Amino acid sequence: MNNQKDFKPYIPAERVTPELTITSIILGILLAVIFGAANAYLGLRVGMTVSASIPAAVISMGVIRVLMRKNSILESNVVQTIGSAGESLAAGAIFTLPALFLWAKEGVMDKPGILSITLIALIGGLLGVFFMIPLRNALIVKEHGILPYPEGTACAEVLLAGEEGGANASTVFAGMGFAALFKFIIDGLKVAAGEITLNVGKFFKGFAGAIGTQVYPAVLSVGYICGPRISSYMFSGGVLSWMVLIPMIVLFGEKLVLAPGTVPIGELYANGGASAIWSTYIRYIGAGALATGGIISLIKSLPLIVKTFTGAIKSAFGAKAVDTGRTSKDMNMGIVLIAILVLTVLVWLVPAIPVTFLGAVLVVIFGFFFATVSSRMVGLVGSSNNPVSGMAIATLLITTLLLKFTGSLGAVGMTSAIAIGSIICIVSAIAGDTSQDLKTGYLLGATPQKQQIGELIGVVASALAIGGTLYLLDTAWGFGSEEIAAPQATLMKMIVEGVMEGQLPWALVFIGVFIAVIVEILGIPVLPFAIGIYLPVQLNACIMIGGLIRLGVDKLKRDENEKKIITNNGILFCSGMIAGEGLVGILLALFAVFGIDKVFNLSAMLGIPAVVSEILGLALLAVIILTVLKFSVWKKKSK
C-alpha cells in the first residue's frame, strides 16, 4: 500500500544541513576511484562485483563523524552516493570492454585507446543518471511503500545507526589492511601459494579430474557476502566441469584432435593438466551456459519488464510530485533533456567512439528502456538480482544482427557492437545504482538535486580512472588469463563473433546451453551455476569456503539482533578485504608493468620448494578464516 503521504524523512524538508560540500566531494571521489578499481579487478577475476554503497557509507561516517567531529548524516549520504558510482560503472565496463583487448591480441583489430574507453564509460554513466532523473518521482516517491529498494533501505539504516560509525569504519579499514598484507605475501613476496590443486588422477589412474582452492581474501569474501546458497551453486558448476566434463573429454577423446584444440586431447592433458582442457574446451561450454542463463533470466523477467516500463512511463508523465520543498527538488528537466540530446550526438559524431548514426539511435532506445527497467527492478528484487548481463546479451544479439544486415561487418561491426553494448550495460548498472542512492536519500531527507549532481561527479571520476585501470591490468596479466579471466567480456566477444562470423565451436556451446536448460528445469539459479562451470574450480572452492563461514555464522545460537550484528560485521570486514586486495592487485600490476615485481619475489631468491609454498598457502588460508571470525563472531561489542 502506498503510504507516501504519511511519510516523514529523518531530516525534515524545512531543515537545511550540509550535503554537497568540498569534504563530501573529495572523499566521495576517492572512494569512487578506490571501489571502482577494486571491483574492476574483482569482476575480471571472478565474474561478480559487490555493492560499494554500505562500505562507502560506513567509511564516510567514520571520517566525517568520528575524525572530523561533524554530525552530518546527509553529507555522509552524498559521500556514499558518489563513492558507489565507481563500483557500478566498473561493473558495466568490465562486462564488455575487455572484449576489444581480446580481439586486439588475436590481431583482429587495434587495441582500443584510453580515450575511447573513457568516453564510452563516461557517456554510458551520464546517460544512466540522466535517464533515471525523470523517473525519481514515479519510482521513489509515488511508489514508496511498494518498491522496497533493499540495498538503498539497508544503506539508510547504516547511516541512521551513526552512533556505531567509528567502530564499523574500523572494521572496514581492518579488512582492507589484512587483505592488503595477505595479497602482498601471496602475489608480491610469493612465499605462499595462491592456488593449491590436487590432481585426482594421481590416486585414481585414468581419471583426469582435479580439485583445489585459491587462497585469496577477496575471493573468500565474495562467498561470505553472497552466502552459502549462491556459493554452493557456483561450486557445483565447478565440480561438474572439473570432476565430470574434463575427465569425460580426456577419457573419450584421448587420441582425437577436436576443435578448437590443435593437438590430441591426451597430449594436451599430459602437457598442461586439467587446466589445459578447461581453457581449450570447458570455457566454451561455460559461455553457452552463461549466455543461456542471461537469456532465461531476461525471459522470466519479461512480464515484469513490460509492466515496469509502461507503469514507470505513465507515472513519470502522469503524476506530479507532492511538493515538500527541498526534498522534492530535482535537476532542471530542460537541462536533463538537453544533456541526453548532446550525449546522443556525441556518441554518433566523436571519432573515438566507433558507433554509427544507427548505433546512436539504438543507444537511446535500448538505454532508456533498460534504464527504466533496471531502476524499477532493483527496487523490487535488489541490485544483485538485476539481470544486467541478460540485458547486455539481448542488446548485443539485436545490435549485432542489425549492424550485420546494414553492412557493418568484420572488425568495424564487432567493435561498434561492443561499444553499443558497453554503453547500454553501463547505463543499466548506473541507473540501478542511482535509484538505490535516491531511495537512501529519500528516507534520510536528502536534496535529490544534490544527490544527482553527486552521482554525476562519481561517474566522471570513475570514467576517468577506468581506462587506465583496464590498460594496467591487461598489460600486467592479459585479459583471458588465469589471473583475470574476464568471463562476461569473453562471453560477449563469443556472442558477437558467433553472429558476425559463425565460427564458434557450436557443439561445445550447445552442450553448455542444454546444461543450463536442465539446471533451470531443476529449479537451480542458472547464472551462478554457469559462472561456476566457466571459472576454475579452485576459485569456486575458495568462494565456497566463504559461503560455509557465512553458513556457520547464520547457524549460531544467538538472539536475532546479535546474529544480525555479527553478520553485518562480517560483511563490512569482507567488503574491506575486497577493496584491500583490489588495491594491492592494482599496485602489483604497476610493479609488473615497470618490471620491479621480481625485487620482492622471495620465493625465487630463497628457492622455496612448491610443496612448502602450498603448505604455507594452506596455513595462510586458515589465518584468513580466523581473521573473518575475529571481526565478526569474536568481535567485542562497542560501547
For residue range 326-381, what is the model confidence (pLDDT) as tens digits? Answer: 888 888 888 988 999 999 999 999 988 988 888 899 899 888 888 887 887 787 76
pLDDT score recorded for residue 338: 93
Q: How many residues does the chain have?
A: 639
DSSP 16: -
Reading the block at residue 129, the C-alpha cell is 543518471
**Could you tell me if 531 and 48 are in contact, meaning their C-beta atoms sit under 8 angstroms apart?**
yes
54: domain range? 1-639
C-alpha distance from residue 615 to each of 26, 27, 221, 338, 544 (Å): 44, 41, 21, 61, 20
Strand partners, 210: 199
pLDDT score recorded for residue 104: 93
Reading the block at residue 162, the C-alpha cell is 551513526
Q: How far apart are the C-alpha atoms of 601 and 2, rounded to whole Å? A: 61
Amino acid code (one letter) for 200: V
pTM greater than 0.85: no
Query: Cα–Cα–Cα angle for 130, 458, 573, nearest 5°?
Result: 125
Cβ count near 316 (within 10 Å): 16
Amino acid code (one letter) for 105: K
Contacts of 406 (CB under 8 A, 6+ apart): 358
pLDDT score recorded for residue 537: 92
pLDDT score recorded for residue 308: 61
Quick check: helix, strand or coil at residue 198? strand
For every residue of 271-334, DSSP letters joined together read: HHHHHHHIIIIIHHHHHHHHHHHHHHHHHHHHHHHHHHHHHHHHHHHH-PPP--GGGG-PPPHH
Q: How far apart are the C-alpha atoms of 299 and 281, rounded to whole Å? A: 28
For every residue of 496-507, DSSP letters joined together read: HHHHHT--S-HH
Q: How far does CA 279 lie from the centroid of its chain?
A: 23
**Could you tell me if 244 and 208 are in contact, meaning their C-beta atoms sit under 8 angstroms apart?**
no
pLDDT score recorded for residue 144: 82
Q: What is the CA radius of gyration of the chain?
A: 24
**Could you tell me if 86 and 32 are in contact, meaning their C-beta atoms sit under 8 angstroms apart?**
yes
Low-confidence ranges of the chain (pLDDT < 70): 1-5, 66, 162-167, 301, 304-305, 308-309, 311-324, 381-387, 389-390, 637-639
**Could you tell me if 197 and 212 are in contact, meaning their C-beta atoms sit under 8 angstroms apart?**
yes
Q: Is the dihedral of CA 133, 135, 139, 141 positive or negative?
A: positive
pLDDT score recorded for residue 155: 84
Reading the block at residue 132, the C-alpha cell is 533515471
**Could you tell me if 256 and 572 are in contact, meaning their C-beta atoms sit under 8 angstroms apart?**
no
Looking from the CA of 443 toward its CB, the CA atoms found within 13 Å total 22
**Cα distance from N-terminal residue to C-terminal residue, the chain:** 39
Amino acid code (one letter) for 333: M
Any idea which residue has 580481439 for its cell?
Answer: 103
Any idea which residue has 552516493 for its cell?
Answer: 81
Amino acid code (one letter) for 70: K
Q: What domain count does the chain have?
A: 1
pLDDT score recorded for residue 1: 41
Quick check: helix, strand or coil at residue 210? strand
**Could you tell me if 470 and 40 are in contact, meaning their C-beta atoms sit under 8 angstroms apart?**
yes
